Amino acid sequence: MTHSNVDITRSTDWSKSTDLCVVPAFYPAEDRVKMAVSLRCFLRTGKNAVSALQRRGFHRTLPAAVQMTVRDALNQAMDEELERDERVFLMGEEVAQYDGAYKVSRGLWKKYGDQRIIDTPISEMGFTGIAVGAAMAGLRPICEFMTFNFSMQAIDQVINSAAKTYYMSAGLQTVPIVFRGPNGASAGVAAQHSQCFAAWYAHCPGLKVVSPWNSEDAKGLLKSAIRDDNPVVFLENELMYGVPFEMSEESQSKDFTIPIGKAKVERQGNHVTVVTHSRYVSHCLDAAAVLAKEGIECEVINLRTIRPLDVESIETSVMKTNHLVTVEGGWPQFGVGAEICARVMEGPAFNYLDSPVTRVTGVDIPMPYAKILEDHSLPQIKDIIFSVKKTLNV
């Protein structure tokens, strides 16, 4: 950084003095007294100046925000919890030596070894059953599915073994396990690898279902899920793994957690409430930015948790805006948006609505493989803008 030249005005211009090395050997007594007085004044002035500087409140710029990808946030969360609690371990296909199919577990095998980062055969039913049994025995497993589409191979273990055991044991047997992996549509992987399981698992009592959006969500919610005594389905999104987000100073702490079951208002607004989760929070914020230029202020709510659903936050917002739009990537029938519509209709916020609730969802078909058909099968920003305007009748 270059600095401009600054002219300094001195009370005594030393640059014009005679040779500073030539010092008289003797000063008269009067001169010595004057010098002593001057020295005391100089020291006193300097001391006062330092005190003034210490008292003065300087403007300090905020430290540069740390950016972290969702992938690294998940990795950091698991690393911190593995270090914090020796009962925690990770198992799944290619999570160890290969560092995970999406590199979410990068470096953990080298740090914690074969006993705690465990590669499994390609048998979801088998290794999920092992993980659930380990949870019943007092450990805290993280069971990774390479994609949640493969969790259907193990859905008996997830629902019948993990979700129902606490109830069937009259509260005597907890099952502290996290099922995590990418969920929903990715890109170019067609019908069998593009389903959103938010509504599937949220339908089942006994499970908690979490759907993070950004890096803070990913870290804080995963740490809470690992510490929870209930089975938690943790739905990530493959397309969000490499996206960087700013991390607050608070979120960089090893003690940082986000409570499960609490939504977050990502953008304040007073014309319409837009409720969404996972990747579509980004879509809704982009749509809200476009609509703001037209004078429409959207309040965007990031659900974070699908079950238990934070109905209170939704109702509070709807009572303020009097309009509601839900956005999700899953199919429309019996989906997350459908549940939100029902809960709002059954609660006090219904009387505040000035128009019917509008849902923006994936199209009710298996996912096509062709790129252009895939784009038409998923909610786009233009679809959200259209739905908001339709709801507001503008």
Catalytic annotation present for 323? no
The structure tokens listed for 216 are 């803070």
Positive or negative CA dihedral for 318, 324, 330, 333? positive
- Cβ contacts of 259 within 8 Å, gap of 6 or more: 224
Question: How many angstroms separate the first and last alpha carbons of the chain?
Answer: 52
Catalytic annotation present for 124? yes
Q: How far is CA 142 from CA 234, 236, 254, in A?
A: 10, 14, 18
- Which candidate in 94, 193, 203, 297 is catalytic? 193
The Cα 243–Cα 65 span in angstroms is: 15
The Cα 251–Cα 282 span in angstroms is: 20
- Which candidate in 80, 124, 238, 299 is catalytic? 124
DSSP calls for 171-216: TS-----EEEEE-S--SS--GGG----HHHHHTSTT-EEE---SHH
- Residue tagged 């609505």 (tokens): 353
- Cβ contacts of 71 within 8 Å, gap of 6 or more: 102, 103, 104, 241, 242
The structure tokens listed for 246 are 């700013």
The catalytic site residues sit at 124, 193
